[in-house]
């Protein structure tokens, strides 16, 4: 899917407007944060936060490694 987005002046800044369809596909609404990631094919826009995913991976690994201690604490 290719969709054209229009840049518009908003005060002293420039913003982009998204169609309702695109907001639905991205699962976004007003006030949400989007991330721009540089890839070998250009820029990628998404609601996915790669830094958060990295932190969650570290948490999952630690959580699994120390699951017995975690279970003991919750008793």
Q: Which residue, chain included where needed, has tokens 């490694």?
A: 65
Number of other CB atoms surrounding residue 26 within 10 Å: 15
Q: Is the pTM of this model over 0.85?
A: no
Residue 22 CB partners (closer than 8 Å, separation 6+): 3
Radius of gyration of the CA atoms of the chain, in A: 19
Q: What is the pLDDT of residues 24-63, one digit of tens each?
A: 988 889 998 888 889 999 988 877 777 777 777 887 777 7
Please say whether the beta carbons of 46 and 26 come within 8 A.
yes
pLDDT of residue 73: 55
């Amino acid at each position: 899917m290719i969709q054209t987005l229009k840049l518009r002046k908003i005060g002293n800044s420039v913003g982009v407007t998204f169609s309702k369809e695109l907001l639905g596909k991205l699962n976004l609404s007003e006030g949400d944060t989007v991330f721009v990631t540089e890839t070998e094919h250009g820029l990628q826009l998404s609601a996915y936060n790669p830094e958060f995913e990295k932190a969650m991976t570290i948490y999952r690994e630690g959580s699994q490694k120390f699951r017995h201690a975690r279970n003991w604490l919750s008793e």
